[in-house]
Amino acid sequence: MNQQTQRALVLAGLGAGVALALRRSQQRYELEGKVALITGGSRGLGLVLARQLVSQGARVAIVARDGVELAQAEADLRARGGDVLAFPCDVRSHEAATLGVQRVVAHFGRLDILINNAGVIGVGPLEHLTLEDFDTAIQTHIYGPLHMMLAAIPHMRQQGQGRIANIASVGGRVAVPHLIPYTASKFGLVGLSDGMRAELAKDNIKVSTICPGLMRAGSHVNAQVKGNHQAEYAWFSVIDALPFTSVAVEHAAAQIIRAVRHGSPHLTISPQAKLLGALGGVAPNLLAQAMNIVGQALPGYAGPEGDVQKTGRESESPIAPSVLTSLNDRAAERNNQHGKLSLGNSAEA
């Protein structure tokens, strides 16, 4: 390659970089005064997203099913100076979702940003799962976002713009054993989100598909556990807490908000999640073999008592909680996972 060719390639690269930077600056969305609606906003990632949006001048509506947790979250956000609306809403109901969006628009006069964050997670082997477990995950992770988007889109079209972020998961790109209802429904959400993005681009409504890896949001205490409850909760809560397998939820929330501002089509959060996603694309058979090994190593059938569903906090053992889960245990306290929030305590420890 001669010098002239090298120079041309360098200039072409610089030009592409400048063009990309210019495009991103043009797409950047100022949050001051914007109205954002967050489902599952009473705790965990949803609450952290609401905190960060409030700090950037957005007006925020949060919905969830638990009224007590919502009241705690609303008080936390108001203490931070937020202009906040909070009310119960079960997004699995089309009617409730439609009325919820209408209530937000009636209160604030508009809806600029929708973040579909509401989620459930169940941990346990296939032998203990029921159709109800799958239905709950599908209704929450696919129909919930669908109901909310169908309700919000007409308002965004009327405004001439909008942003939608669908919080899927790396589990929506790579199937993980003992999390089948969760991963199956998150795969569906990825497809729904990607399809909506292509349909809505003409309306200046930008849809972001968000695939986080494990986050220290404290949500492990509310996981629904079946099978050998203590053993299942132990492995799940440990990998969800270690600093080399998970990221701080505050870091994840900041990346999500940045993706919303830029209208990014896709966001995968954490190096581990990016690696898994890449392996699924370039070496799917190798990844499948690895997951087979993981599935064989996880706890097996636990007898009739394993059919009973317990929460994470009802499945504790000497391993969880312990020093291995301490980062996530503290996150649970900060992020209202127990419904007993200490106002103003939100810094990652």
Query: What HEC string does 249-304 produce?
Result: HHHHHHHHHHHHHHCCCEEEECHHHHHHHHHHHHCHHHHHHHHHHHHHHCCCCCCH
Which residues have C-beta within 8 Å of that of residue 215, sequence separation ≥ 6? 45, 240, 246, 247, 248, 249, 252, 269, 270
Q: Is the pLDDT of residue 106 over 60?
A: yes
175: phi then psi, degrees, rounded to nearest 5: -75, 135
Q: Catalytic positions, please?
A: 182
Which residues have C-beta within 8 Å of that of residue 298, sequence separation ≥ 6? 125, 177, 178, 232, 235
**% of the chain with per-residue pLDDT over 90:** 89
**Mean of pLDDT values over 229-255:** 98
**% of the chain with per-residue pLDDT over 70:** 90
Cα-trace Rg, the chain: 21
**Mean of pLDDT values over 86-103:** 99
Would you place residue 9 in the very low, low, confident or very high pLDDT band (cuts 50, 70, 90)? low
In the chain the domains, ranked by start, together with CATH numbers, are 29-334 (3.40.50.720)
Q: Are 114 and 37 in contact (CB under 8 A)?
A: yes
Would you place residue 340 in the very low, low, confident or very high pLDDT band (cuts 50, 70, 90)? confident
Q: Is the pLDDT of residue 18 over 50?
A: no
**Mean of pLDDT values over 48-61:** 99
The b/e string for 212-230 (b: 16+ C-beta within 10 A; e otherwise) is bbbbbbbbbbbbbbbbbbb
Return the sign of the alpha-carbon dihedral for residues 260, 266, 270, 273: positive
Q: pLDDT tens-digit profile of 189-240? A: 999 999 999 999 999 999 999 999 999 999 999 999 999 999 999 999 999 9
Q: DSSP assignment, residue 140?
A: I
Q: How far is CA 258 from CA 100, 212, 217, 299, in A?
A: 25, 14, 19, 39
For the ranges 140-154, 308-322, 335-349, the lowest mean pLDDT is seen at 335-349
What is the rounded distance in angstroms from the CA atom of residue 278 to the CA atom of residue 49? 27
What is the rounded distance in angstroms from the CA atom of residue 348 to the CA atom of residue 302? 36
Average pLDDT, the chain: 93
What is the rounded distance in angstroms from the CA atom of residue 73 to the CA atom of residue 341? 8
Q: Is the pLDDT of residue 348 over 50?
A: no
3-state secondary structure of 39: strand
CA torsion 192→195→200→202, rounded to 10°? Answer: 180
Q: Is the pLDDT of residue 12 over 80?
A: no
Would you place residue 57 in the very low, low, confident or very high pLDDT band (cuts 50, 70, 90)? very high
Which is it for strands 162-167 and 84-88: parallel, antiparallel or unpaired?
A: unpaired
**Mean of pLDDT values over 302-331:** 98
Q: Are 64 and 43 in contact (CB under 8 A)?
A: yes
299: phi then psi, degrees, rounded to nearest 5: -55, 145
For the ranges 39-43, 208-212, 342-346, the lowest mean pLDDT is seen at 342-346
Query: The tokens 């002239």 sit on which residue?
Result: 4
pLDDT value for 199: 99
pLDDT value for 225: 99
Lookup: tokens for 267: 């966001």
Would you place residue 21 in the very low, low, confident or very high pLDDT band (cuts 50, 70, 90)? very low
Q: Is the pLDDT of residue 25 over 50?
A: no
What is the rounded distance in angstroms from the CA atom of residue 131 to the CA atom of residue 276? 28
Higher pLDDT, residue 1 or 53: 53
Would you place residue 339 in the very low, low, confident or very high pLDDT band (cuts 50, 70, 90)? confident
Q: pLDDT tens-digit profile of 257-277? A: 999 999 999 999 999 999 999
